[in-house]
Amino acid sequence: MSIEVGAKGRAETIVTEQNTAAAVGSGLVPVFATPYMVALMENAAVNALTPYMEEGQGSVGTHLDISHDSATPIGMKVWAEAEVTAVDGKALTFSVTAYDEAGVIGKGTHNRFIITVDRFLAKSEKKKEGR
């Protein structure tokens, strides 16, 4: 794994009735929901890492510090861009920005951690033993 500062990823979608604040319950209005913007930002970060992942590796989000600054109505295209700004072993920091066709709608930072998928899932499943 040799992820470099400056690696970039992008993800996009169209605002539909299904990804609005009203539909997801994060608000009552039919505009692009913040939880979906967050997912778009994370997806962009994942896309930035995809070329660097080895067989059996993945990444998980560990922290987000973002703002959602502008509402986007149904029918508009939205996209997110992520850029690696720091690499500390398996810990990665990204600058993330979301846009619609009128401009920036949100921005911030996002942290991810590189995992071995099988080991990660096995550890997760062990939680069931303690309940």
Catalytic residues: 34, 42, 68
| Burial readout 53-84 (b: 16 or more C-beta within 10 A, e: otherwise) | eeeeebbebeebebebeeebeeeeebbbbbbb
Residue 131, annotated as binding a ligand: no
103 appears as a binding residue in the annotation: no
Distance between CA 61 and CA 75 in Å, rounded? 28
Binding-site residue ranges for substrate: 61, 112
Binding-site residue ranges: 61, 112
Binding-site residue ranges for CoA: 61
